[in-house]
Amino acid sequence: MLVRIISSLVLFPILFALVYYGGLPLKIGTIFVSIIAMYEFYKAICKKIKPIHYIGFVFALIYLLVLDTPFFKISDLIVCSFLLLSLIFMVFNYKNTSIFDVALTFFGVCYIPLMFSTVYLIRLFDYGHYTVWLPFICAWACDTGAYFTGITIGKHKLTPELSPKKTIEGAIGGIVFSAISCGIYGMFMTSTKIDKSHIFNNSTVAITSFILLGIIGAIFAQFGDLTASATKRRFNIKDYGNIIPGHGGILDRFDSVIFTAGICYIILKIIEIYNIIL
């Protein structure tokens, strides 16, 4: 636990700086985390599946590089090209590459770079310098709440086959703690006067919305964690890597953030599209 805490204390200032400044530093950080996490994922599954590593890495890098450029408008073409090229590669290398290899290669790009890039995309919103913290608050508040609730009053196992230590009480505690944390953050946001066009005009509605987002985010955070657990169980590994002492790999640390970032991006994008005033 001590090693885990020390690692968090070392990494948090780096993460904070990248997210706070946004722009190129955050983009570089997003690329770095995504590529390392992809490497960990491909390494974990390569004993049973043979992902086409270099095709996956090349297209992941292309996708991440065009995030804030005009070329992002054709990101769907990039994804389609990636799938077509992978399938063509399978035809020419059919003795060593199967449809399962192609599927897991494609999944690796969608699961990690595409999902994790939503952190950067949230930061690009008009008030992204505030809302970008929501995925992290949801994920880590849920993780903290679930841990302490679980060791205190946890009795009923949540998913004993996937994660024996997780309890139903812990899961509920994580959701409650995430809701409270997001609610408090919502209070902070509504009290911060940015300009006259502040989208968080109605404090009651805004705080309620953030509490609901905290609940939804916590649910998805736990699914993110369980998804990683299910994958590791399937391929008989304990951690995806050992780059972060006490935590394992990059993917072990950000497995829940990937999910919370995805759902937060979807919700905030809907708010932006339909011009919903909180």
Where residue 205 falls among pLDDT bands split at 50, 70, 90?
A: confident
* Side chain identity, residue 84: L
Let me know whether 220 and 139 are in one domain: yes
DSSP the chain: -HHHHHHHHHHHHHHHHHHHH-HHHHHHHHHHHHHHHHHHHHHHHTTT----HHHHHHHHHHHHHTTTSGGGGGHHHHHHHHHHHHHHHHHHTTTT--HHHHHHHHHHHIIIIIHHHHHHHHHTSTTHHHHTTHHHHHHHHHHHHHHHHHHHH--SEEETTTEEEEEHHHHHHHHHHHHHHHHHHHHHHHHS---TT-S---HHHHHHHHHHHHHHHHHHHHHHHHHHHHHHHHTT-S-S--SBTTTBSHHHHHHHHHHHHHHHHHHHHHHHHTT---
Let me know whether 43 and 97 are in one domain: yes
pLDDT(198) > 60: no
Listed residues 107, 124, 141: the one ending a domain: 124
Q: Give pTM, 2 decimals.
A: 0.90
Tens of pLDDT, residue by residue over 220-271, are: 999 999 999 899 888 888 888 878 776 678 998 899 999 999 999 999 998 8
Q: Are 173 and 146 in contact (CB under 8 A)?
A: yes
Where residue 139 falls among pLDDT bands split at 50, 70, 90?
A: very high
> For residue 129, what are its two tokens?
């310098």
Listed residues 98, 124, 150: the one ending a domain: 124
Listed residues 80, 96, 124: the one ending a domain: 124
Let me know whether 83 and 185 are in one domain: no
Let me know whether 42 and 101 are in one domain: yes
**Integer Cα distance of 119 and 109 in angstroms:** 15
Where residue 118 falls among pLDDT bands split at 50, 70, 90?
A: very high
Let me know whether 139 and 253 are in one domain: yes
Let me know whether 174 and 274 are in one domain: yes
pLDDT, mean over the chain: 88
pLDDT(193) > 60: no
Within a domain: 14: no
**Integer Cα distance of 219 and 196 in angstroms:** 34
Within a domain: 97: yes
Let me know whether 156 and 116 are in one domain: no
Q: What domain range is 88 assigned to?
A: 21-124
pLDDT score for 199: 55
Within a domain: 148: yes
Let me know whether 160 and 236 are in one domain: yes
pLDDT(178) > 70: yes
Let me know whether 146 and 117 are in one domain: no
Let me know whether 119 and 134 are in one domain: no
Where residue 112 falls among pLDDT bands split at 50, 70, 90?
A: very high
Let me know whether 67 and 119 are in one domain: yes
Let me know whether 117 and 146 are in one domain: no
Within a domain: 251: yes
Number of domains comprising the chain: 2
pLDDT score for 120: 96
